[in-house]
Amino acid sequence: MRLFFFGLMLSSLGAGCVAAFLVRRAEASGHTKWACGYAIINWIQAMLGSLGMNNAGYGLCRYGVIPNPAFNIWYSALAFCRLLLYLVASFWMQTLIASRLDLLEQSSNRSYRSGCFRRLMWAQVFGAAGVLLPIAGVLFYSAYNNSNNVTSIIIFATSMWSLIAIGGITLLCNWAASIVAICSFRKSYSELRRICRLAEANEAPISARSSLRRARRFAGLQGLGVSFSLLFTVLLVPARVFSAVLYGYDSLKVVLFLIQAFDALGNAVAVLLLSGSHRMAKVERSQGSQCGCWKVEKAEHSRNQQTSHEDVNWTRKVEELSMRGMTLRSLLQFYQENLPSMPDWKYAPKEHKTRDVVRRAIIPLTSREECAFSVSAFNKDGPKRAQVMVTHNWGNLFSDLLAAVLSDALQECSFSLPAELLQEDCAFLQDLLAKMGRLDETYWICAFAVNQHISICHSNPYDRDPFTNQLHPVCQCNSTNIVDPDGRSASSEINKFDDMLRLLATTGGCRQVIAVDKSLDLFRRAWCVAEIAEAKRLQMDQSLKLWSKATLQGRARTLENLDVRDMRASSEKDKELILGKIQDVDDFNAKLQVLIFDPKSGLVATWNAMDSLQQIGEVGRLIRWGLADAGSGKVWKAWESHN
């Protein structure tokens, strides 16, 4: 008994060390924080295991719901609490596995039985509730009735048989869920192995084959980890039962004890590996994160108070702008059909920026209708309510802007691979997006959503062609450009971004994609930073799209001294208008640093984090690209450039 006790205490100590380690890494990612919660429950459950040992007259180690012969109510309550924690920990672990299967399905666009796994998981929840109710009933009845009458015997017998029946079904569901997960990871491993062979047969680049091998190894380890967990679950319940009913057989009792001791320690190691936090650095909350944050305020117009008639016109224009999103299908149609067919101008993807496309394609195409492109006849799908707000810099390459949008639809973190494929075979990308059901996703991009014929079309003080260095020609339409130096015109479409963001955020479903150029110049553009800050204040989901990880690693430190006073805008009046909305510039700069660099929720930290859940996403992503390539080699050729 003493040896068993110290053994269980050492096991719980190991589980506690893992829990403490995960607590220190909990800020690294949401997945790590969730794994930390499981580790803490596993540790407490292990401690209760050692505290729940009973040596009352038998010299045996008793666990779980097997009652003390003297039916000590405190011992039974301790056993009940341990069982409750064990069931919670079991469900918690399966939520970690379920999140992997969900992400694997989403990133690969294939079925890995995540729906079946979740149904089995919830069946265990209801089964566990059915197990706990009879036990709680016995404990409650015994606490207030110590007699050994027939009623007590019947209640106890009924409760125990209910416990055995429901508990057995719950246990079977647990085993079935683990088998489903193992089969799913086995399927992903087999698909990656087939893709690896195909890539090697077609002499794919070394970087692609290396990524495939790493993903295949990781998928195999995930399946092995779940198999390891299933093995302990299969052995643990019989071990706990037999340890309570076997009298004698000392060698067998030692084996049963070892199974129970290693269960907590094995689960702790398993969750450590599942979380991937052993590869991640400790994250301390930055001092700057203690400053205030942007919070949602009462809705109000971002201009001075006007007459009620002007308020109605202002609100109507805000609602109109929010309905000018374009589907991904329409954006690709513009890139494939409208852009190459422009007379007297040839589009060069590696040279022409968004401002060039606006001047030489969007404005000329809509000059007859004198409207925004999204509401013109060229937009075959018609304008739609925006689902995604795209913040971008007009000085960025237009092909990179579209690639960033495509990377969002493809669930890619970086857009270098979509950018390469966009130039090599746009139809291939469109077919892949159609199979994923993404072509109907709606994006709001100011170049297409704003009517350029009432804002900039008649003047061009600085936009020059990169080849000729000549100013782009101005539009000859009959519209009048609105001059709005104070940002209060109800007819203007470039002074209502704050109100439109607020409308999209409060009416639900809209998120923000930040398409960052290779030089990270977006963070030095006053309008872009204002949009990012407003979306953060409105608590919109934000995702950063960068060219590659190398871009972030090489240039992120250049953003440490950002000052909104030094940022650039298309005109000094625009800059003055933005600065006029900021009450405390120094406080705004501090919040901006937190927004970008905060180690817990900053844009850079969120983009750069890589826990094991994201690695599962990488596995699914490689499966999707490998199946889409189908031996053609076009994906892996672009992949080499991407890496």
* Ordered DSSP codes for 394-429: TTSBHHHHHHHHHHHHTT-SBSHHHHHHHHH-HHHH
Tokens at 530, concatenated: 């204002």
Percent of the chain with pLDDT over 70: 75
Percent of the chain with pLDDT over 90: 25
Q: Within a 10 A sphere around the Cβ of 630, how many other Cβ atoms?
A: 11
Summarised one tens digit per residue, pLDDT across range 542-588 is 888 888 877 777 777 777 777 888 887 777 777 777 777 777 778 88
- 587 found inside a domain: no
- 583 found inside a domain: no
Tokens at 357, concatenated: 């496309």
Residue with tokens 């050729």: 637
Of the segments 86-90, 257-261, 422-426, which one has the largest average pLDDT value?
422-426
Please compute, for residue 76, the number of CA atoms within 13 A of its CA located in the half-sphere on the CB side. Answer: 18
Report the pLDDT value the prediction gives residue 137, as an integer from 0 to 100: 60
Claim to verify: residue 170 and residue 93 sit in the same structural domain: yes
- 155 found inside a domain: yes
**Torsions phi, psi of 370, nearest 5?**
55, 55
For residue 511, the surrounding DSSP H or E stretch is strand 511-515
Instruction: Confirm if 528 and 391 have CB atoms less than 8 A apart.
Output: yes
Report the pLDDT value the prediction gives residue 615, as an integer from 0 to 100: 78
Confidence of residue 19 (pLDDT cuts 50, 70, 90): confident
**Strand 442-444 to strand 511-515: parallel, antiparallel, or no bridges (unpaired)?**
unpaired
- 190 found inside a domain: yes
Whole-angstrom CA distances from 378 to 203, 372, 373, 453, 529 are 42, 10, 7, 16, 31
Instruction: Confirm if 153 and 120 have CB atoms less than 8 A apart.
Output: no
**Strand 442-444 to strand 326-327: parallel, antiparallel, or no bridges (unpaired)?**
antiparallel
- 460 found inside a domain: yes
* Strand order, beta sheet including 442-444: 326-327, 442-444, 388-391, 511-515, 542-545
pLDDT value at 71 more than 70: no
Give me the residues paired with residue 326 across strands: 443
Claim to verify: residue 463 and residue 521 sit in the same structural domain: yes
pLDDT value at 497 more than 80: yes
Report the pLDDT value the prediction gives residue 276, as an integer from 0 to 100: 61
Which structural domain, as residue segments, surrounds residue 127? 2-277
Looking at per-residue pLDDT, the higher value among 74 and 412 belongs to 412
Claim to verify: residue 263 and residue 312 sit in the same structural domain: no
pLDDT (mean) for 67-92: 68
Confidence of residue 385 (pLDDT cuts 50, 70, 90): very high
Distance CA 370, CA 56 (A): 91
Give me the residues paired with residue 545 across strands: 515
Tokens at 16, concatenated: 């506690």
The amino acid that residue 99 corresponds to is S
The amino acid that residue 63 corresponds to is Y
Q: Which is it for the CA torsion 627, 631, 636, 637, positive or negative?
A: negative
Boundary-marking domain end, from 549, 579, 596: 549
Report the pLDDT value the prediction gives residue 30, as an integer from 0 to 100: 67
- 47 found inside a domain: yes
- 49 found inside a domain: yes
Report the pLDDT value the prediction gives residue 355, as an integer from 0 to 100: 94
Claim to verify: residue 233 and residue 374 sit in the same structural domain: no
Question: End-to-end distance of the chain based on CA atoms, in angstroms?
Answer: 58
Enumerate residues 6+ apart whose C-beta is below 8 A from 75: 52, 54, 67, 68
Claim to verify: residue 117 and residue 232 sit in the same structural domain: yes
Tokens at 313, concatenated: 């016109």
pLDDT value at 181 more than 70: yes
Q: Indicate the number of domains in the chain.
A: 2
Claim to verify: residue 366 and residue 451 sit in the same structural domain: yes
Report the pLDDT value the prediction gives residue 157, as an integer from 0 to 100: 61
Give me the residues paired with residue 546 across strands: 414
pLDDT (mean) for 128-148: 60
Confidence of residue 107 (pLDDT cuts 50, 70, 90): confident
Confidence of residue 383 (pLDDT cuts 50, 70, 90): very high
Give me the residues paired with residue 391 across strands: 514
Of the segments 131-135, 176-180, 280-284, which one has the largest average pLDDT value?
176-180
pLDDT value at 320 more than 90: yes
Q: Within a 10 A sphere around the Cβ of 278, how many other Cβ atoms?
A: 13
Boundary-marking domain end, from 515, 549, 583: 549
Q: Within a 10 A sphere around the Cβ of 239, how many other Cβ atoms?
A: 21
Q: Which of 60-74, 191-205, 246-260, 481-495 has the lowest mean pLDDT?
A: 60-74
**Strand 542-545 to strand 388-391: parallel, antiparallel, or no bridges (unpaired)?**
unpaired
Residue with tokens 């680049």: 205
Boundary-marking domain end, from 490, 521, 549: 549
Going by C-alpha positions, the residue among 392, 288, 298, 391 that lies closest to residue 601 is 288
CATH code at position 129: 1.20.1070
Report the pLDDT value the prediction gives residue 601, as an integer from 0 to 100: 60
Claim to verify: residue 111 and residue 21 sit in the same structural domain: yes
Give me the residues paired with residue 515 across strands: 545
pLDDT value at 199 more than 60: yes
- 624 found inside a domain: no
Concatenated DSSP letters of 319-353:
HHHHT-BEEHHHHHHIIIIITTT-TT----TTT-B
The amino acid that residue 588 corresponds to is F
Going by C-alpha positions, the residue among 21, 38, 41, 609 that lies closest to residue 278 is 21
Claim to verify: residue 183 and residue 316 sit in the same structural domain: no
Distance CA 404, CA 408 (A): 6
Residue with tokens 């038998």: 58
**Maximum distance among all alpha carbons in the chain?**
102
Concatenated DSSP letters of 565-587:
GG-B-SSHHHHHHHHHT-S-HHH
Mean pLDDT (the chain, rounded): 79
Angle between helices 150-201 and 612-629 (to 10 degrees): 50
pTM over 0.85: no
Summarised one tens digit per residue, pLDDT across range 331-352 is 999 999 999 999 889 999 999 9
Claim to verify: residue 342 and residue 239 sit in the same structural domain: no
Q: Within a 10 A sphere around the Cβ of 52, how many other Cβ atoms?
A: 18
Claim to verify: residue 39 and residue 173 sit in the same structural domain: yes
Claim to verify: residue 397 and residue 500 sit in the same structural domain: yes
Confidence of residue 64 (pLDDT cuts 50, 70, 90): very low
Claim to verify: residue 382 and residue 261 sit in the same structural domain: no
